[in-house]
Amino acid sequence: MASVTVSGIGSGLDISSIVSQLVEAERSPTETRLNSKESLIQARLSAYGSLKSALTNFQSSLSTLKDAETFTKNNAVVSDSSVFTASVTDEASVGSYSVQVEQLATNHKIASQAYTDSDTSVGSGELDISVNGESFSITVAEGEDSLTQIRDAINSAEDNTGVSASIVNDQDGAHLVFSATKSGVDNAINISAVNGGSGDLSQLNFDASLETQLSSMVEKTTAVDTIVIIDGFTQTSSDNTISDMIEGVTFNVLEASPGDEFSLNVSQDKDVVESAVENFVTNYNTLMTTINDLTAYDAETNTAGLLQGDSTVRSVANQLRQEMGTIVGDLDSELDSLSEIGITTGDAGKLELDESTLSDIISSDFSSLSGIFSSDNGYATRLDSLIEDITASDGILENRTTGLSSQVDTITSQREALDLRIEVIEARYQAQFSALDSLLSQLTTTGDFLTEQLANLPGSVYSSS
């Protein structure tokens, strides 16, 4: 009897491989079906994510047009921005103004006489320093009266009212310099020094009201105010900002140019509105492209978009088109539709903008644009409300994606059930083939015994070949 070469323990059967192949044959059809179904659901969830993103982007473009203040914003244009700049609010009156910048505010700066070096003793006593009616004092003790020590005492004073001290080394020696931290006449520095011992601290005395000082202190920079003349009217400022000389206008003065006249033109900021309308059209068309791509059907390739025939997307598209086709109404202006400002619907539901018509409306009837977009029944207001409802946590998009997500959860449960079923099947196959292995082992043993017995019979000839 010929022997069988196998890998099993008893019979030589490769039980592990046989069971594995049978189990895979049981698992594969169901697993493939579940994977295919989940892949499609995940793709649709992603498609809904793209739709929601496009809706949100379009909604963002509505914010400018929805805000009524957009249509009342003013714009300031200056003839030379190196001399001054201007910012305006909605309160500024539209018009042109003649502006002269006669003088820039400066920070007061005074300096002491020359000393040998920064370690030179000035003298002990009391220093009272005042700026704009507020003062602070420092005590200068003997042995602590060098230029460096006085400088540090001033700069570290907790009640310092606006004076910075420094040491400048000139060719004639070291000078103690006092600088006002704020500009303007009111912030001029006054110093009252009282000698208290050795030295002559009174050399630091300075009275800003005197043309000739009684001490050796020297004025390096005179404290002056900014002077601006607008249409013949004059205003001064301690800093380089002029506010409310023209209501709603703030000037930032950069350079003095005495005697020269520059222009300021305040006008309605129509550019921001024109740009907002263009963005409105562009973002709506991007949204329509997304919807069209998701619901398209290509007859040549026999392929459909991920959401082709989907009732939710169809509902979203219909609602958007309905809002676009509905006139505003209840406006004092004759303008009450998008078509009247140059926006019409073309192929594939996309908008087309006649820039010439829009430009003419902005030039001739700018105030009416506010009602079309930002009124209670305006396009931007209605569309913003519509998209808010669509994308809300309880909106139709969320309900649809929640339903799809629950299908994914169901598939997960089905996979778990499949795993349990496969475990049972695998155990059954393992038991069956183990029993077969045992049976074959017994048959092999019996066969070997019979072969041996037959070989021992008188006159018998047995060949295993």
Which tens digits make up the pLDDT trace of 117-167? 999 999 999 999 999 999 999 999 999 999 999 999 999 999 999 999 999
Confidence category of residue 276, pLDDT binned at 50, 70, 90: very high
What average pLDDT does the structure give for the chain? 88
For 98-117, the pLDDT digits (tens) are 999 999 999 999 999 999 99
In this structure, what token pair is assigned to residue 243? 């506010």
Q: What angle do CA 443, 447, 453 make, to 5 degrees?
A: 145
pLDDT at 335 over 70: yes
Least confident of 96-100, 280-284, 297-301: 297-301
Q: Which of 14-28, 123-137, 223-237, 435-449 has the lowest mean pLDDT?
A: 435-449
| Contact assessment for residue 132 and residue 161, using Cβ atoms and an 8 Å cutoff | yes
Indicate whether 429 pLDDT > 50.
yes
Partners of residue 177 on adjacent β-strands? 111, 166
Which is nearest to 107 in space by CA: 151, 192, 166, 157? 166
The answer, yes or no, to whether residue 2 has pLDDT greater than 70, is no
| Beta-carbon contacts of residue 63 (< 8 Å; ≥ 6 apart) | 384
Predicted local distance difference test score (pLDDT) of residue 6: 39
Reply yes or no on whether the pLDDT at 1 is more than 50: no
Q: Name the band, by pLDDT with cuts 50, 70 and 90, for residue 29.
A: confident
State the pLDDT confidence band at 25, using cuts at 50, 70 and 90.
Answer: confident
CATH architecture type of domain 107-221: Sandwich (2.60)
The radius of gyration of the chain's CA atoms, rounded to the nearest angstrom, is 46
pLDDT given for residue 200 in this prediction: 92
Question: For the chain, which residues make up each domain, given as ranges?
Answer: 1-73+269-451, 74-104+226-268, 107-221
420 or 134: which carries more pLDDT confidence?
Answer: 134
Q: Is the pLDDT of residue 427 over 60?
A: yes
As given in the structure block, the two tokens for residue 36 are 């295919």
- Residue 351 confidence (pLDDT) above 90: yes
Widest Cα–Cα separation across the chain = 155
Residue 465 has pLDDT above 60, yes or no: no
**pLDDT > 60? residue 289:** yes
Helices 15-66 and 379-390: angle between axes, nearest 10 degrees? 160
CA distance 66 to 64: 5
